[in-house]
């Protein structure tokens, strides 16, 4: 047998190998490969967090079986409260408050209980179109509260309390600021004041101050100037009305008039005096109306109905039917009823021989023998008797004789003196300083620059 065949059949034996060493080397190589490809397996349970990378929560399915899932925080809590809602309704013209509330699906029993709780706080007869209700309901449509709004300063709430309702007034914080208003007359005092952006309700208050000095029906002229320091009241930023007029000035036909309010005392209204402490109040007013226009003066004239010329013993004011008529002074009612061509007439006897008469009234508000005070309502304008249209015929007598009301000078109420006068003049100086500062700030010229 050839030697090469023997070699193929029986190869020479191999050198023995160290098996444990090879095993260790193999495991090391495998672990290195896994580490390079997957990273450190310990980090699968504790993820790495860097400064630029927020920590994240491991998804529930990736947690090891030995960790419990997080507890649901809502388990064991009571159900959420029912959703509340608020519905409002505004009183329409001719609509009763109960009818308005029925539109909110309130039953008559609930409405009755709410109104009973508000009794004594609210006079529902005073409610007018524009007043509103706001009803707050629970999720089961039961009424939780009803808020009644009669304006920015008048709000009331009735709240459900154990089967009934308890009502209270909602207190409002009123902010008062002092403002300066000034202007000049172009056509009428009314238009002049409204042109400044103010409410018409400021006009009667201004007229009242000078009612003894100026007849605003015949004396107002183009170019007349006026200005006031007046309190304005706001609630929640909304204007709710005027307070006191602290100082007022009016220039009429180049004749200046000034008035300053003396602070009201306990239980008494404020009183106006001029800068020298003389009362603005006089025994009789210049006119029996707050505003209007003179259609016929005192003297001879052709009668509009009878057609002949005769003496007109009074002053006619052309104003609408229903306009309030006030008495020009304190006194006693001597006539109140029908008086032939005068129609419905009221006569008032005053001190010092004065008598005032008011004719053609549509209604009378006083009785014979009744005591009246200056500016009390005595009746309303009409067109009764011999009248071609609604107007007030006003007459004034002195010791039984007719006189021209526009030419009379009446006695003043007592003036201030002593310490009262000294304190008042100090107040006047401060108010004048405020007027001057307000004019400078607004660039308004002094409408009473002639006043010395």
The per-residue DSSP string of 369-395 comes to T-EE-TT-EEEEEB--SS-SSSBEEEE
Within-domain flag for 19: no
Q: Are residues 181 and 157 in the same domain?
A: no
Kindly tell me if the per-residue pLDDT of 167 is higher than 70. Answer: yes
- Has this prediction a pTM greater than 0.75? no
The span from the CA of 363 to the CA of 365, in Å, is: 7
Q: 309 or 251, which is more confident? A: 251
| Sequence-distant (≥ 6) Cβ neighbours of residue 348 within 8 angstroms | 327, 328, 329, 331, 332, 333, 334, 355, 356, 357, 372, 378
Cβ–Cβ under 8 Å, residues 206 and 226: yes
Within-domain flag for 15: no
Q: Are residues 164 and 136 in the same domain?
A: yes
Residue 358 has a pLDDT of: 96
Within-domain flag for 37: no
Q: What are 102's two structure tokens?
A: 């029925």
Mean pLDDT, residues 317-336 taken together: 91
CA distances from 280 to 98, 208, 211, 383, 398 (A): 48, 10, 9, 33, 22
Residues 212-236 have pLDDT tens digits of 888 777 778 888 999 999 999 998 8
Q: What are 275's two structure tokens?
A: 């800068």
Within-domain flag for 179: yes
Within-domain flag for 66: no
Q: Are residues 391 and 416 in the same domain?
A: no
Residue 29: CB atoms within 10 A of its CB come to: 10
Within-domain flag for 43: no
Q: Are residues 316 and 370 in the same domain?
A: yes
Domain count, the chain: 3
Within-domain flag for 80: no
Within-domain flag for 417: yes
Mean pLDDT, residues 145-165 taken together: 88
Residue 76 has a pLDDT of: 47
Which of 150-154, 318-322, 347-351 is least confident? 150-154
Residue 166 has a pLDDT of: 92
Q: Are residues 133 and 187 in the same domain?
A: no
Give the domain-ending residue among 108, 134, 169: 169
Range of the domain at 132: 85-169
Q: Are residues 104 and 182 in the same domain?
A: no
Q: Are residues 402 and 302 in the same domain?
A: yes
92: CATH: 3.10.450.350
Q: Are residues 356 and 433 in the same domain?
A: no
Q: Are residues 145 and 198 in the same domain?
A: no
């Amino acid at each position: 047998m050839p030697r090469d065949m023997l070699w193929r059949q029986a190869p020479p034996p191999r050198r023995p190998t160290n098996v444990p060493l090879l095993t260790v080397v193999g495991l090391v190589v495998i672990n290195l490969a896994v580490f390079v490809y997957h990273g450190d397996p310990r980090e699968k349970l504790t993820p790495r967090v860097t400064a630029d990378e927020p920590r994240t929560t491991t998804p529930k399915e990736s947690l090891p079986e030995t960790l419990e899932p997080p507890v649901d925080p809502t388990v064991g809590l009571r159900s959420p409260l029912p959703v509340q809602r608020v519905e409002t309704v505004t009183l329409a013209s001719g609509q009763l408050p109960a009818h308005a509330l029925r539109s909110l699906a309130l039953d008559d029993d609930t409405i009755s209980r709410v109104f009973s709780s508000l009794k004594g706080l609210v006079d529902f007869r005073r409610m007018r179109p524009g007043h509103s209700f706001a009803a707050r309901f629970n999720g089961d449509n039961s009424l939780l509260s009803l808020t009644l709004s009669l304006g920015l300063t008048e709000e009331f709430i009735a709240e459900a309390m154990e089967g009934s309702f308890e009502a209270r007034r909602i207190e409002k914080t009123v902010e008062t600021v002092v403002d300066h208003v000034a202007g000049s007359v172009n056509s009428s005092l009314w238009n002049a004041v409204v042109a400044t952006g103010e409410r018409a309700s400021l006009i009667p208050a201004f007229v009242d101050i000078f009612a003894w000095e100026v007849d605003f029906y015949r004396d107002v002229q183009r170019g007349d100037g006026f200005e006031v320091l007046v309190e304005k009241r706001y609630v929640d930023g909304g204007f709710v009305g005027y307070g006191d007029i602290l100082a007022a000035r009016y220039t009429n036909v180049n004749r200046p008039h000034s008035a300053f309010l003396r602070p009201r005392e306990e239980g008494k209204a404020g009183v106006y005096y001029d800068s020298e402490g003389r009362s603005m109040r006089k025994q009789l007013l210049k006119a029996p109306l707050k505003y209007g226009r003179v259609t016929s003066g005192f003297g001879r004239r052709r009668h509009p109905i009878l057609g002949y010329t005769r003496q007109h013993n009074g002053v006619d004011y052309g104003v609408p039917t229903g306009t309030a008529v006030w008495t020009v002074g304190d006194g006693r009612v001597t006539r109140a009823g029908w008086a032939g061509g005068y129609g419905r007439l009221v006569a008032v006897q005053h001190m010092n021989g004065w008598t005032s008469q008011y004719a053609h009234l549509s209604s009378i508000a006083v009785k014979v023998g009744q005591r009246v005070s200056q500016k009390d309502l005595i009746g309303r304008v009409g067109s009764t008797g011999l009248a071609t249209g609604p107007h007030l015929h006003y007459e004034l007598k002195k010791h039984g004789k007719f006189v021209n009301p526009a030419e009379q000078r009446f006695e003043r109420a007592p003036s201030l003196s002593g310490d009262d006068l000294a304190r008042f003049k100090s107040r006047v100086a401060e108010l004048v300083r405020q007027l001057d500062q307000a004019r400078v700030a607004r660039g308004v010229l002094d409408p009473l620059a002639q006043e010395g």
